[in-house]
């Protein structure tokens, strides 16, 4: 029963993390397009609260519950193909993306953004591709 609760909590925290990973770059798009000081300050506040208040805790919870799940039966995850190794590689890349978002939040807050809204529209697609790959790896286990 513990395994099922951990799995549910892992999925819930992962959904919350990805919600932030999808929304924060969209805020960057709007922030990069904004012209007035009031809008820029509002977006900076929204970005900071999303990053620190939702995305950070959700990422940590996702990692804690995921590691806990693996610790219950590591051989089940690492001896039945390379899908878990591929998934964990994508998770490491996702953590890097998360921290890139955090660095960008700080740049916007300092008024040092040099990128256009078009860049952020493409930047916003990265977590979508990673999510697709992770779900396929976990469900299909192609290798």
Does 10 show up as a binding residue in the annotation? yes
Does 49 show up as a binding residue in the annotation? no
DSSP the chain: -HHHHHHHHHHHHHHHHHHHHHHHHHHHHHHHH--SHHHHHHHHHHHHHIIIIIIHHHHHHHHHHHHHHHHH-HHHHHSS-SHHHHHHHHHHHHHHHHHHHHHHHHHHHHT-----HHHHHHHTTHHHHHHHHHHHHHHH---
Q: Residues within the annotated binding site?
A: 10, 87
Q: Which residues are annotated as a binding site for heme?
A: 10, 87
């Amino acid at each position: 029963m513990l395994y099922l609760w951990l799995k549910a909590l892992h999925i819930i925290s992962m959904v919350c993390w990805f919600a932030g990973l999808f929304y924060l770059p969209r805020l960057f798009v709007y922030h990069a397009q904004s012209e007035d000081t009031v809008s820029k300050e509002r977006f900076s506040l929204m970005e900071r609260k999303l990053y620190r208040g939702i995305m950070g805790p959700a990422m940590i919870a996702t990692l804690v519950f995921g590691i806990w799940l693996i610790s219950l039966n590591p051989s089940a995850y690492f001896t039945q193909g390379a899908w878990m190794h591929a998934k964990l590689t994508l998770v490491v890349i996702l953590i890097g993306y998360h921290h890139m978002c955090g660095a960008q939040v700080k740049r916007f807050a300092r008024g040092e953004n040099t990128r256009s809204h078009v860049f952020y529209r493409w930047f916003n697609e990265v977590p979508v591709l990673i999510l697709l790959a992770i779900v396929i790896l976990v469900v299909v286990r192609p290798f």
